[in-house]
Structure 1
């Protein structure tokens, strides 16, 4: 049984037991209270009827003396109150010992009301004291009502006295039972709480000790064996599986480190066999001077541009450069491309000098320009235009690289902007190993920009098939304080 199910059973059971005891005690007290209320209602009713008969006699006596309309109204009000009490008396259920007396009491009350009516009727007679006999009879009846009321009160108290004693005995017994059940319930609750706490804390302590030993590097420790089928058994098995996975991961990491060591050794051997970059730069410079001496100025300029381009591309990619350096590098790259395409292409620049001091990742512009040449204008025989525009906007610097070449489909455009998904390159994206000079794909350039500035949605591409392409880069104005990042995402 898991811990949740056990708690759902134990806690409601204790709650129901407490409520049952409370209900029985409450019900016993309620029974006593109802009995008291019934008796008191009848006793008070008898007393009210007695008092009301006396008030009625007083009111009719006042009316007989002054015969005023106000006295008559007062009598009628008293008479209505007495009839209301008579109606309440008829609704009362009499106990066995008072049934006969109640019946006589009702007859007396009806007689008294009839006698009052007789008094009023006798006033219509011309005889001056015609009401006197009826009034005397009414006074006698009122005395009988008073005596009968006291007798009924005594009978009620006598009838309920043994019943009350019995109820009090039962109530006292229920109180004792309630105390016993409360003590028993408390003991059971404490024992259950202790038992449940052991079932919870003991596995946690064992798992904690295991976790501490694993954190100290002891991966050979065995997690506790928990026989109960609950959450802690699942956690223990998860610990065991995690420990097994850690051991496998360590073995794989060791194998990976060994492979990396061998790869580093092979790379070192390869680098030792490669041409020294300084020797290559010096050779290009010598060729440039030789071409200049021989009068081949264009060849000399191309050789210098190629030397500068190669030197720039061999820079460390985790060091930022200014946008001005990127622009100069892009112009060197375009100079070489223009020597290849000649009059077929035209390079236009529109640059705000105030925007060129911002820091950007190295090799940001050239891969985008190269992508425009390879996939945009390379197949055009004439009229090809590539434009680089840099302008200052509020809080941003906009770099736009556009061409009037083949453009791209919407699918390719979206795939270039989707930097959060690893996938195969779409058509129109350059990748490493296809003869491009940098080996850095356009998507990788975009991703490096996001990593460098720690900002999303910096790139926008406007393109349609046959209508050219424009890549817009929105660089934050705080780019002058750009941070160094390790740029491992290379094509």
Structure 2
């Protein structure tokens, strides 16, 4: 769960809990207030009816005394108000303990109103003092109404007293629960805030420590692993990816530096071996023409091959060449070696033309052939065979150099393939008093750097059974399908 969703869940839950406690407390107080208002409304109604009956009697008495229109109007207003109170009393629901008393109270009020009507009718008649009996009865009824009102008020208070006590107890309990829930809610809120802050600050702290170690150059530090799927896990994965990218960039930079170092070593070696190339080329051309004039065609061909070989060796070593050029250079080199070994060696080629257009580092095949001559067949009196095979596969071009020479031990084979190992003091493993071929290891290293592949070279050999060196070249020339800027200079 991400932090945003967690906050969206926790904060509304706390809000709902607080509102629920407040609602229950409010509802309890509202219930008490409603009960109190209901009781108070009935008590006030009883008191109002009692007071209004006495006011009506005074209004009738005033009208009897002066018989004026103002007194009559005052009486009628008082009578209307009493009628309204009668309607309100009829609409009230009585409690069980006062139902009979309320019914009697209503009858007395109805009787009082009828007696008022009788008084007013008697005043309008021609008989003197006809109203006196009705007035006396109305006074008695008003006294009964007053007495019944006090009794109803006492009954109302007696009925609601235990209910009020119960409500007060419940309210007190609810208040205690409210305080307890408030304290619990506060504790939960603090704990949740602390927990959420830990979920935010702890990953940030771990990521900051990781970033500091990476900035100090420690690329082997392991980024913190987040247990939950949230934003910090995404950030941790981004840290891991950034770390891997840095490692990849550093590795590529080291490979580029290693490649440049190997190229400089080869250039230095070529410079050490060249002696005034222009003079040497001119001298070889003169010797070739002289041998041709004197009829020594083989000597002339050999001189031309030597000139071509030397010219090829003086190429820019940081530029790739088509495999076709390397094959032609290998053939020139074999011509020179055959002049030395004559019929003792035989050079066989099986070449598919479609595979000759891939790009390879310059001086790839000659050092391997030279290693064959020096270590494999130099001691053979006859029957030495060297075979160069180039074949096209689905996405690779295979270059195989095979011989039927003395072979090599497993230690020497592993030494040639272990191109990244360093030899103490710059020395090589010696096999029968001869070098095992640092130039060959140099070629293998340059191939791996050029194609950015580690498993493209294999050697199959046993002592006395010959050796096969197989190079698997990507069909596009390089894995990324283009030549690096260094190689295009």
Counterpart of 1:189 in structure 2 is 189
Q: Check 1:260–1:73 CA distance in 2 against 1; reply closer, same or farther (3 A cut).
A: farther
- Name the CA distance, whole Å, in 2 between partners of 1:69 and 1:9: 76
1:123 match: secondary structure: helix
1:171 match: secondary structure: helix
The CA deviation string for residues 357-414 of structure 1, in whole angstroms up to 9 with x for no partner, is xxxxxxxxxxxxxxxxxxxxxxxxxxxxxxxxxxxxxxxxxxxxxxxxxxxxxxxxxx
Structure 1 segment 316-395 matched on structure 2, within 5 A? none
The CA deviation string for residues 242-278 of structure 1, in whole angstroms up to 9 with x for no partner, is 222233345556778999999xxxxxxxxxxxxxxxx
Structure 2 unaligned regions, length at least 5: 264-489
Counterpart of 1:114 in structure 2 is 114
| Cα distance, 1:130 vs structure 2 | 1.3
- Name the CA distance, whole Å, in 2 between partners of 1:71 and 1:153: 33
Counterpart of 2:230 in structure 1 is 230
| Cα distance, 1:11 vs structure 2 | 2.2
Counterpart of 1:245 in structure 2 is 245
- Name the CA distance, whole Å, in 2 between partners of 1:143 and 1:99: 20
| Cα distance, 1:92 vs structure 2 | 0.6
Counterpart of 1:86 in structure 2 is 86
Q: Check 1:241–1:132 CA distance in 2 against 1; reply closer, same or farther (3 A cut).
A: same
Counterpart of 2:169 in structure 1 is 169
Counterpart of 1:221 in structure 2 is 221
- Name the CA distance, whole Å, in 1 between partners of 2:31 and 2:179: 20
Establish whether residue 135 from structure 1 lines up as the match of residue 125 from structure 2. Answer: no
- Name the CA distance, whole Å, in 1 between partners of 2:75 and 2:259: 120
Establish whether residue 152 from structure 1 lines up as the match of residue 168 from structure 2. Answer: no
1:200 match: secondary structure: helix
- Name the CA distance, whole Å, in 2 between partners of 1:55 and 1:258: 121
The CA deviation string for residues 85-106 of structure 1, in whole angstroms up to 9 with x for no partner, is 1111111100011000000001
- Name the CA distance, whole Å, in 2 between partners of 1:47 and 1:138: 18
Structure 1 segment 458-469 matched on structure 2, within 5 A? none
The CA deviation string for residues 289-331 of structure 1, in whole angstroms up to 9 with x for no partner, is xxxxxxxxxxxxxxxxxxxxxxxxxxxxxxxxxxxxxxxxxxx
Q: Check 1:70–1:216 CA distance in 2 against 1; reply closer, same or farther (3 A cut).
A: same
Counterpart of 2:413 in structure 1 is none
The CA deviation string for residues 212-234 of structure 1, in whole angstroms up to 9 with x for no partner, is 23334443332112222221111
1:220 match: secondary structure: coil
- Name the CA distance, whole Å, in 1 between partners of 2:54 and 2:149: 13
- Name the CA distance, whole Å, in 1 between partners of 2:157 and 2:81: 26
- Name the CA distance, whole Å, in 1 between partners of 2:215 and 2:132: 114
The CA deviation string for residues 21-49 of structure 1, in whole angstroms up to 9 with x for no partner, is 22222111111111111100000000011
- Name the CA distance, whole Å, in 1 between partners of 2:105 and 2:45: 12
| Cα distance, 1:183 vs structure 2 | 1.7
Q: Check 1:78–1:256 CA distance in 2 against 1; reply closer, same or farther (3 A cut).
A: farther
- Name the CA distance, whole Å, in 1 between partners of 2:76 and 2:90: 21
The CA deviation string for residues 175-230 of structure 1, in whole angstroms up to 9 with x for no partner, is 12222222222222222222221111100100111222333444333211222222
- Name the CA distance, whole Å, in 2 between partners of 1:229 and 1:151: 74
- Name the CA distance, whole Å, in 2 between partners of 1:258 and 1:57: 126
Q: Check 1:143–1:254 CA distance in 2 against 1; reply closer, same or farther (3 A cut).
A: same
| Cα distance, 1:2 vs structure 2 | 2.1
Structure 1 segment 32-43 matched on structure 2, within 5 A? 32-43=32-43
| Higher gyration radius (CA) | 2
| Cα distance, 1:170 vs structure 2 | 1.2
The CA deviation string for residues 448-469 of structure 1, in whole angstroms up to 9 with x for no partner, is xxxxxxxxxxxxxxxxxxxxxx
Q: Check 1:146–1:258 CA distance in 2 against 1; reply closer, same or farther (3 A cut).
A: same
Counterpart of 2:61 in structure 1 is 61
Counterpart of 2:74 in structure 1 is 74
- Name the CA distance, whole Å, in 2 between partners of 1:260 and 1:72: 128
- Name the CA distance, whole Å, in 2 between partners of 1:219 and 1:202: 21
Structure 1 stretches of 4+ with a deviation exceeding 4 A read 250-262
